Amino acid sequence: SFPGAPHLSIGVDSTDGAVGDAADLAAAQLDVTRLVVLALSAEAPRRPARPTPDVTFRQLDVDDDRDWAQAVALRLSNAADSVGYAEFATRRLAAMRQLQWAHHGSWFGAFLDGNMVSGLGIFSDGGGTARYQSIDTHPDFRKRGFAGALLHAAGRYATKELAATTLVIVADPDDVAIRLYRTLGFTENEIQIQLGRPTP
């Protein structure tokens, strides 16, 4: 949690998409977002067919502040201007860095000429499930196969190093990226609900 944050976000455990009374949600000034949960069991995602020459795919160095500063900058490159988001992104990635310190997962980046152009995290609950986090590609470097290659690399890491048997992605059903996830072998298995109050 982030006390004092100007926005509010709540996850609802509802596999069928049901969320409650619309009037009550409107009175509480909460917006409803329905997301698709996709899963892949017992294997890493398929290797993308598209070649990615001159790009290095690797875990971020937990001791290298520059790696993590680049991860924050990448997040901000895809975010609408909103009050407090830079602080939120910085604090959230700091939390992910601590999880990597504790060997619960890792953040990955695609680096071109030393610059991070795509990134994501993958972290385990310790019970065999690992979830991808915040899949981002810089707007100037999209549609080059970087995200697919990172999904594959991170999935291999999770199955080998985290002993994950199920890999999970939560995605916007209207996002074009969902086609990539299906191509790599992920299938939809439930709906996730998020309630949010946007930044004033």
Q: Is residue 52 part of a domain?
A: yes
What's the CATH number where 103 sits? 3.40.630.30
Q: Is residue 157 part of a domain?
A: yes
Q: Which domain holds residue 161?
A: 35-189
pLDDT confidence bin for 1, thresholds 50/70/90? very low
- Give the residue, 199 or 89, on which the prediction is more confident: 89
- CA–CA separation, 93 and 64 (whole Å): 13
- Domain total of the chain: 1
- pLDDT, one tens digit per residue, over 106-139 is 999 999 999 999 999 999 999 999 999 999 999 9
Mean pLDDT over 63-73 rounds to: 98
Q: Is residue 51 part of a domain?
A: yes
- pLDDT, one tens digit per residue, over 157-182 is 999 999 999 999 999 999 989 999 99
Q: Is residue 87 part of a domain?
A: yes
pTM: 0.83
Checking if the pLDDT of 64 tops 60, the result is yes
